[in-house]
Structures are given as C-alpha cells and as structure tokens.
Amino acid sequence: MDANKLTTVDGRVVCERCLIARTPWQRMRGLLGRKSLDANEGMLFRSSGPIHMFFMRFPIDAIFCDGDLVVLDVERGLAPWRVAGRRGSKMVIEMASGAAADVQSGDRLVLGTIDA
C-alpha cells in the first residue's frame, strides 16, 4: 500500500504516514484486525460513503472530505460498533483518536510524497 504525507495547504502536517486503500481488498479490510493505530499514521479511503466500526478494537478520528480534499467535517473519537458519514463526502481519512485535533471543517488537505 502506498503511503503519503497529508498536510494542509499551509504546510501543517495532518498525517505523517497516510496509507491509501486503492484495491477492493484494501478498502474492505481497512483497519480491521489491528490493535491500534500510531498517532502519525492513517488510512485514506476514496469513494467513501458512511463508514462503520464493526469489529474494530479502538476508536478513531474520521475526517470526511469532498473530492478536492476539503474537510467537510471531523468525527472525533468514533467508537467501535458505531457508524458515521457526512453528506457529500467522497473521501474519508481514518486516524488514531485525537490525531485530528487540529483539523477543522473547511481545511484543504494535500497528499504529498514522503521525504526520504
């Protein structure tokens, strides 16, 4: 899976290592089976409607974005066995609970390569 740095347009780092779920298997599996998520990593899902937390072991922050990676809303501390979604959402970034504390509606995000 590819990993990219996710920042705001003004350069503020949102996610140091953002994995992109590209294949149907990666999208279906998502974060299932993991015991935790590092504060500096997340996963981006394209063409995303509502997300579910069935069988998850830990809460997450979910950043719902439009097709241009403009933040529509952030669901903070989404607990296992819950469902969340936002009208107009085309992508969602799942991060560790609390990791999206500085992300607000209206922020424009940018995916870039990870500097070696």
CATH number at residue 39: 2.60.120.1140
Calculate mean pLDDT across residues 21-46. 81
pTM of the model: 0.89
pLDDT for position 69: 96
Confidence band, pLDDT 50/70/90 cuts, at residue 32: confident
Range of the domain at 83: 3-112
CB-based contacts of 23, cutoff 8 Å, min separation 6: none
CB 18 within 8 A of CB 93: yes
pLDDT tens-digit readout, 45-57: 987 689 989 999 9
How many domains does the chain divide into? 1
CA dist., res. 48 & res. 36, Å (int): 22
Question: CB-based contacts of 18: which residues, under 8 Å, 6+ apart?
Answer: 3, 4, 5, 6, 41, 42, 43, 44, 93, 111
What does the pLDDT read at residue 116? 44
pLDDT greater than 90 at residue 82: yes
Tokens of 106: 């209206």
- What is the rounded average pLDDT of the residues 61-67? 96
Q: Among 76, 2, 86, which residue's Cα sits nearest to residue 41? A: 2
Question: Using 50, 70 and 90 to split pLDDT, how confident is the model at 9?
Answer: very high
Residue 2: predicted pLDDT: 63
State the pLDDT confidence band at 1, using cuts at 50, 70 and 90.
low
Distance CA 63, CA 44 (A): 9
The mean predicted confidence, pLDDT, of the chain is 89
